C-alpha cells in the first residue's frame, strides 16, 4: 500500500483525489496549508508527495526547496493551474520530480505516482549513503566519514553538512541552512556562524585542506572538485 501526502488548499480538488485513491486502497494523509504540509513531510515517511504550488503559509516551491535542502528525497509531484514553460522549469529546478497542470486526469496522476515510486524503489539502496569527494554520509546511521576517518558531529552540524552535500556543487544560501535548523523560529544571535565554525573544525581535524568555503553575503559550499 502506497502512503501519499496530499498538500492542497482546494477542498473540492482534495476530496476528488481522496475518493479516487482511497478506492484503490492507497493510504493518504492531507494538509490544507503549506505550513502543515511541510511539518507532516518532515515528521513522517511517505512514498510520494502531491504538492500544490499555490498554498497558504508556505507555497509549494518553498516546501520543495526546504525538503530537498534537508536531504529529503521523497518523490514530489507538483500540481498547478499555471501552465507556462517558466513555471515548469521553476518547479523542476527546486527539486520536483514531476509537474501536472490542472485540470488533470486522475488515471494520469495514478500512473505518475506509480512510476515515481518504482523509480524511487530502484535507487533506494543507494540513497542511504551520500558521497561527495572524500566525504561520506550514511543517512540511516547518521555517520559521517572523511577519507574513512569517522567524524563525530552534533545534530546541528550533521544537518548543515547534509544540506551542503545534498546541494553540492551549488552554493547553499545562509537563509536555507537557517530554515533547515530552525524553520521560522530563528535565534536572535548569529548562531549559524558558530555552528559552521564547529563543523569546519570537525571536518578539518587531522586534515590540511579546507572543506567548506564561505561565499560572502550569500552562503556556503563544499570545497570539493
pLDDT tens string 51-85: 998 899 898 888 988 888 887 888 999 888 766 55
| Range 129-222 has CATH code 1.10.760.10 | no
Residue 123: band (very low, low, confident or very high) from pLDDT cuts 50, 70, 90? low
Q: How many helices and strands in the chain, by DSSP H and E?
A: 8, 12
Structure confidence at residue 86 (pLDDT): 57
Q: Compute CA distances 192 → 141, 174, 210, whole Å.
A: 24, 8, 18
Burial of 206 (0-12, 13-18, 19+ CB in 10 A): exposed
Q: Please check whether residue 201 is in contact with residue 144, taking contact to mean a CB–CB distance below 8 angstroms.
A: no
Please list the residue range(s) of the chain that carry CATH number 1.10.10.10.
Answer: 129-222
Structure confidence at residue 180 (pLDDT): 81
The H-assigned helical ranges of 138-190 are: 155-167, 174-182
CATH architecture of 3-127: 3-Layer(aba) Sandwich (3.40)
Q: Please check whether residue 33 is in contact with residue 8, taking contact to mean a CB–CB distance below 8 angstroms.
A: no
Structure confidence at residue 177 (pLDDT): 87
| 53 vs 86, residue with greater confidence | 53
Please list the residue range(s) of the chain that carry CATH number 3.40.50.2300.
Answer: 3-127
Amino acid at each position: 500500500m502506497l502512503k501519499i501526502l496530499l498538500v492542497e488548499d482546494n477542498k473540492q480538488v482534495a476530496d476528488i483525489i481522496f475518493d479516487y485513491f482511497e478506492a484503490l486502497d492507497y493510504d493518504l494523509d492531507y494538509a490544507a496549508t503549506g505550513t502543515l504540509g511541510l511539518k507532516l513531510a518532515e515528521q513522517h515517511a511517505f512514498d510520494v508527495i502531491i504538492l500544490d504550488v499555490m498554498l497558504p503559509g508556505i507555497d509549494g516551491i518553498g516546501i520543495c526547496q526546504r525538503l530537498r535542502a534537508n536531504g529529503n528525497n521523497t518523490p514530489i509531484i507538483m500540481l498547478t493551474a499555471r501552465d507556462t514553460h517558466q513555471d515548469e522549469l521553476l518547479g523542476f529546478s527546486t527539486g520536483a520530480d514531476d509537474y501536472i497542470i490542472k485540470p488533470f486526469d486522475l488515471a494520469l496522476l495514478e500512473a505518475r505516482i506509480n512510476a515515481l515510486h518504482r523509480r524511487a524503489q530502484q535507487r533506494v539502496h543507494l540513497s542511504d549513503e551520500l558521497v561527495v569527494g572524500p566525504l561520506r554520509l550514511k543517512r540511516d546511521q547518521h555517520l559521517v566519514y572523511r577519507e574513512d576517518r569517522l567524524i563525530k558531529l552534533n545534530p546541528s552540524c550533521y544537518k548543515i553538512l547534509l544540506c551542503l552535500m545534498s546541494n553540492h556543487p551549488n552554493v547553499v544560501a545562509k537563509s536555507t541552512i537557517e530554515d533547515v535548523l530552525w524553520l521560522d523560529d530563528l535565534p536572535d544571535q548569529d548562531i549559524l556562524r558558530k555552528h559552521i565554525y564547529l563543523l569546519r573544525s570537525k571536518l578539518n581535524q587531522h586534515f590540511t585542506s579546507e572543506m567548506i568555503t564561505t561565499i560572502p553575503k550569500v552562503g556556503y559550499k563544499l570545497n570539493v572538485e
